Amino acid sequence: MAIGTADARRGGDGALMSGGRWSVTGWLLLLPAAVLLVTFTHFPAAATAYHSLFSTPRAGRPAVWIGWENYQAMAADPVFWQSLTNNALFALGTIPTSMALALAMALLVNGSVRGRAWLRLSYFTPTILPMIAVANIWLFFYTPRYGLLEQITGLFGLPSHNWLGSRDTALACLIVVTVWKEAGFFMIFYLAALQAVAPVLSEAASIEGAGRWYFFRRVTFPLLMPTTLFVLVNAVINSFRLVDHVVVMTRGGPDNTSSLLLYYIYDVGFKFWDTGYAAALTMVLLAILASVAIGQFLLLDRRIHYR
């Protein structure tokens, strides 16, 4: 009986306080954060959906309801499709590479390699630098004739090439910068996970005569699965969220061959001030992010976990 009342006092799922008065306390504690969250996340998300159905207000001409017109314009807009395709290519180019490199780096510096501390530092440093600074450094790196890349290709007698100014290589240049920036960040999550793998496992495996590759494939890699998923979700979000390097290095050019979705939204919204159309474009981005969230929920909570 006494235990029963104590339980009731703690509330159903382990909360310490419950009941009417505590409801007020709970909401009061939450209030400041809730106001800001609603104002700058939920409200703008809903307002985006709403404004995407209106024309852009211009001087002397208020916004009018135009239904799906912004979306029809979008479907017929080659720059939108190009930005979306570029973004898909960008994601495909950055995510697997940076994750594989992150895992390789973690495995390399988790062992007893010579100069381990220095190597970790070198891998991780790009994480601390602002993307904008990184982009400036790489801009110099890619500069025609003058930059380091041209000097190296020049040594091998290759012809001069404008890496950022050419339609075929601009997006690839952005991909390389992003991989360089992100691999070390993802590495630390793998490193943390590797350090949690019990050393007994590898001892047992070596007694059994299992090779290191076999051990990695059958034991380490499956154990790292939750980390891989976590890193994957972050990498996907980043590939749609981060466009600082586009602003600095290519401005989406040449001919939109390196424009990413968010960069195009920025262009439409803040250079052409076409906010109605920008809202429709933002809806696509929100739909992509929402499907990542749903995908993560289904995968993370249903399939992959330690037993």
Binders in 228-247 for other proteins, by CB under 8 A: 230, 234, 237, 240-241, 243-244, 247
> Which of 15, 92, 158, 201 contacts other proteins by CB under 8 A?
15
Residues 6+ apart with CB under 8 A from 68: 53
The minimum distance between CB 4 and other proteins, in angstroms, equals: 17
Among 79, 89, 219, 248, contact with other proteins (rule: CB under 8 A)? 248
Judged on CB neighbours under 10 Å (0-12, 13-18, 19+), 172 is: middle
Nearest to 87 by CA among 236, 247, 286, 287: 236
What residues contact 175, with CB distance under 8 A and at least 6 apart?
90, 93, 94, 97
Residue 292 touching other proteins (CB under 8 A): yes
Which of the ranges 17-25, 66-74, 81-89, 217-225 carries the binding residues for other proteins, by CB under 8 A? 17-25
Q: How far is the CB of 298 from other proteins (least distance, A)?
A: 14
**Chosen residue from 99, 103, 134, 235 binding other proteins by CB under 8 A:** 134
Cβ pair 190, 106 in contact under 8 A:
yes
Q: Which of 132, 201, 204, 298 binds other proteins (CB under 8 A)?
A: 132
Number of residues that bind other proteins (CB under 8 A): 103
Q: If we measure between CA atoms, which residue out of 254, 245, 240 comes closest to residue 287?
A: 240
> Which residues are CB-neighbours of 55 under 8 A, at least 6 positions away?
63, 64, 66, 69, 70, 276
**Please, what is the minimum distance in Å from the beta carbon of residue 256 to other proteins?**
18
Angle (nearest 5°) at CA 43 between 38 and 46: 140
How far apart are alpha carbons 5 and 149 in whole angstroms? 73
**Shortest Cβ distance from residue 237 to other proteins (Å)?**
7
Residue 37 sits in the site that holds other proteins (CB under 8 A): yes
Q: Which of these, 174, 180, 175, 171, lies nearest to 127 by C-alpha position?
A: 180
262-291 residues near other proteins, rule: CB under 8 A: 262, 265-266, 269-270, 275, 278-279, 282, 285-286, 289-290
Region 162-221 residues binding other proteins, contact defined as CB under 8 A = 180, 183-185, 188-189, 191-192, 212
Answer yes or no whether residue 299 interacts with other proteins by CB under 8 A.
Answer: no
| Those residues with Cβ within 8 angstroms of residue 291's Cβ, 6 or more apart along the chain or in another chain | none
The distance of closest approach from Cβ of residue 165 to other proteins in the complex, given in angstroms and rounded to an integer, is 14
Question: Residue 174's closest CA among 84, 219, 239?
Answer: 239
Judged by CB under 8 A, the chain residues 42 through 61 that form the site for other proteins are: 42-45, 47-48, 51
Smaller CB separation from other proteins, 89 or 108: 108
